[in-house]
Amino acid sequence: MAESMVFFSKDVLIIKPPKRLECAGNPVRLFAILSMQRSGSGWFETLLNSHINVSSNGEIFGPNIRRDNISSIIKTLDSVYNLDWLTGSSKNECSAAIGFKWMLNQGLMEHPKEILDYFKDNGISVIFLLRRNMLRRLVSMLANSYDKDAKVLNGVHVSHVHSPEEASALSKYKPTINIASLTLDLREMEATAKKALEYFNSTRHMILYYEDLIKNTSKLIEVQDFLKLPRMKLTSRQVKIHKGSLSEHIKNWDDVNKTLYGTTYKKFLQADY
C-alpha cells in the first residue's frame, strides 16, 4: 500500500487510503454523520447517496452487538472504512466517499475519547446534523413510535414516506405531549447535542441544521465542498410528513403553548420553515 502523509486539522481534509490495495492510488474520503433520531438524517443520507461518488451506509450501530463495547465499535468502523461493508447503498468503488450515520444514543457518547482518537487517526470528517426545533423532533418521535404499533400504511411500519398521500395518512395522528416533563425533555435533547459538539469539536467537522437544509438547498453544495466532491444536483424521493404549523400536529396544543410560552422554548412554538 502506498504511503500517505496525514495532517490533523479542523480545516484540512485528510485523505487516507483504505487498506484495500487496489485503492492505494485513489484515496477514499471518509466521513461520519453524527445525528439524533428524527432529525432528518434519513432524508439527508438519501440526498448524499444520490451523488455518484458517495456511499453512506445507514444507521450501522442500531444492533447492540456492534456497539456493546469499544472493541466491537472499532471492528465495525474498520469494516465500513476498509470498504468491506455491503449494503444496498454501498458503491465501494475507490473513488467514492465512504461513511454512515451514527445516532448519539448508539454507543457514541459512552466512548468519546476512543472514538475521537479513531476519527483523528483515520482522517474521518464529521458532519453534525442537528435539529434546532426540538419540539418538532419530539412530535416526530412520538408519531413514529405510534406507527410502530398502528402500522397505518397497509399494516406496515415506515419511518419515511415517498408520496404526499402517505405523508398525509401518517400526519393524521396527533400525539399528546406530556406537559409535566416537556421542558425537561427539551432541555435534555439540547444538552445531548451540545455535549456531542464538545466531545468531537477537535475533529475536522461541519455543523448542519435540518431547518437550514429545508430552507436553503445551497447547504448541500457546502456539504459537497466539505467532502471535496464534484458538485452535483442531489435528489431524494422522501416526502416530509409534518408540514405547516405545529398546532396542527399536537392534540393538546393549548396546554403545550401555555407551558412553553414565556420560557426560552417559546421560539419552538413558531413556524420555522
Q: pLDDT tens across 42-82, in order?
A: 999 999 999 988 999 999 999 999 999 999 999 999 999 98
How far apart are alpha carbons 117 and 16 in whole angstroms?
15
How far apart are alpha carbons 248 and 28 in whole angstroms?
45
Beta-carbon neighbour count of residue 131 at 10 Å? 22
pLDDT at 4: 37
pLDDT mean over 222-226: 96
Beta-carbon neighbour count of residue 167 at 10 Å? 17
pLDDT mean over 148-165: 91
pLDDT at 217: 84
pLDDT at 90: 55
Instruction: Write down the mean pLDDT value for the chain.
Output: 88
The residue ranking higher by pLDDT, 19 or 83, is 83
Report the candidate in 107, 112, 120, 128 with the shortest Cα–Cα distance to residue 61: 107
Q: Are 211 and 132 in contact (CB under 8 A)?
A: yes
CB crowding 2-11: b at 16 or more within 10 Å, else e: eeeeeeeeee
pLDDT at 154: 87
Name the band, by pLDDT with cuts 50, 70 and 90, for residue 89.
Answer: low
Report the candidate in 242, 243, 244, 240 with the shortest Cα–Cα distance to residue 46: 240
* Burial class (CB within 10 angstroms; exposed 0-12, middle 13-18, buried 19+) of 165: exposed
Estimate to the nearest angstrom the gap between the alpha carbon of 43 and the chain centroid. Answer: 9
| Cross-strand pairs, 209 | 130
Question: Which pTM value belongs to this model?
Answer: 0.87
CATH of 21-269, one of 2.40.10, 3.40.50, 2.30.30, 3.30.70: 3.40.50
pLDDT at 91: 57
pLDDT mean over 85-112: 80
Please report the sign of the dihedral spanned by the C-alpha atoms of residue 237, residue 217, residue 29, residue 34: negative
pLDDT at 96: 75
Q: Where are the domains of the chain?
A: 21-269
Which runs of consecutive H residues, i.e. helices, occur in 122-262?
A: 134-150, 164-171, 182-199, 210-215, 218-226, 253-260
Name the band, by pLDDT with cuts 50, 70 and 90, for residue 219.
Answer: very high
pLDDT at 20: 54
pLDDT at 52: 87
Q: pLDDT tens across 107-144, in order?
A: 999 999 999 999 999 999 999 999 999 999 999 999 99
Estimate to the nearest angstrom the gap between the alpha carbon of 150 and the chain centroid. Answer: 25
pLDDT at 6: 38
How far apart are alpha carbons 196 and 137 in whole angstroms?
17
